[in-house]
Amino acid sequence: MPVLSRQRLTASIKKLAVACGASGDEAQIFADCHVHADLRGHQTQGLQIVNIVYEFLVNGTERFGVDTPVIIDKPGFAVIDGNYGVGCIVATRAMDHAIRKAGDSGIACVWVRRGGVFSMASNYTLRALEHDMVGIATENGIPFVAPWGGRDPLFSTNPFSFAVPSGEEIPIVIDMSAGSFSAGKVMAAKSAGEKMPSSHLVDGYGNYTDDPSLIEMQFDHQLNLGALVAHGTRGFGWNIFVEILAGLLSGMEASCNSIVEAEEGNITINHGQFFMAINIEQLMPVDVFKQKVDEFIRSVKANPPAKGFDTVRLPGENAAKTEQRYLKDGIPVLDKDWEDFLSICSTHGLTI
List the interface residues with its own copies, window 146-175 (CB under 8 A): 146-152, 154, 160, 162, 164, 172, 174
Q: In the set 47, 80, 117, 314, which binds its own copies (CB under 8 A)?
A: 314
DSSP 44: G
Write down the least CB distance from residue 331 to its own copies, Å. 24
Spatial CA neighbour of 65 closest among 111, 29, 118: 29
Q: Return d(Cα 335, Cα 228) in angstroms, integer.
A: 26
Q: Return d(Cα 91, Cα 89) in angstroms, integer.
A: 5
Q: Which C-beta is closer to its own copies: that of 30 or that of 162? A: 162
Taking CA 266 as the corner, what is the angle to CA 263 and CA 269, rounded to the nearest 5 degrees? Answer: 105
State the angle between helix axes of 47-59 and 335-347 in degrees (0 to 180), rounded to the nearest 10. Answer: 30
Write down the least CB distance from residue 352 to its own copies, Å. 36
Q: Which residues from 64-123 bind its own copies, rule CB under 8 A?
A: 72, 74-77, 79, 105-109, 111
CA 252 to chain centre: 18
Q: Is there a contact between 197 and 188 (Cβ–Cβ < 8 Å)?
A: no
| Exposure string for 185-200, b = 16+ CB within 10 A, e = fewer | bbbbbbeeeeebeeeb
Q: Which residues from 22-61 bind its own copies, rule CB under 8 A?
A: none
Write down the least CB distance from residue 55 to its own copies, Å. 27
Q: In the set 304, 335, 349, 351, which binds its own copies (CB under 8 A)?
A: 304
Q: In the set 4, 128, 202, 345, which binds its own copies (CB under 8 A)?
A: 202
Is 134 a binder of its own copies (CB under 8 A)?
A: yes
Q: Which residues from 216-235 bind its own copies, rule CB under 8 A?
A: 229, 231-235
Give pairs for 335-338: CB < 8 Å, separation 24+. 335/1, 335/2, 336/191, 337/47, 337/48, 337/51, 338/2, 338/47
Write down the least CB distance from residue 140 to its own copies, Å. 11
Q: Return d(Cα 243, Cα 135) in angstroms, integer.
A: 18
Is 9 a binder of its own copies (CB under 8 A)?
A: no
Q: Which residues from 255-274 bind its own copies, rule CB under 8 A?
A: 256-257
Q: Which C-beta is closer to its own copies: that of 46 or that of 179? A: 179
Q: Return d(Cα 318, Cα 219) in angstroms, integer.
A: 31
Is 313 a binder of its own copies (CB under 8 A)?
A: yes
Q: Which C-beta is closer to its own copies: that of 19 or that of 217? A: 217
Q: Which C-beta is closer to its own copies: that of 19 or that of 188? A: 188
Q: In the set 24, 193, 265, 305, which binds its own copies (CB under 8 A)?
A: 305
Q: In the set 282, 324, 346, 347, which binds its own copies (CB under 8 A)?
A: 282
Q: Which C-beta is closer to its own copies: that of 96 or that of 281? A: 281
Write down the least CB distance from residue 351 to its own copies, Å. 42
Q: Return d(Cα 350, Cα 352) in angstroms, integer.
A: 6
Q: Which residues from 232-251 bind its own copies, rule CB under 8 A?
A: 232-238, 240-241, 243-245, 248-251
Q: In the set 7, 23, 191, 207, which binds its own copies (CB under 8 A)?
A: 207
Number of residues that bind its own copies (CB under 8 A): 79
Q: Is there a contact between 187 and 217 (Cβ–Cβ < 8 Å)?
A: yes
Alpha-carbon dihedral angle through residues 134, 140, 143, 145, given to the nearest 10 degrees = 30
Rg (CA), the chain: 20
Q: Return d(Cα 139, Cα 294) in angstroms, integer.
A: 29
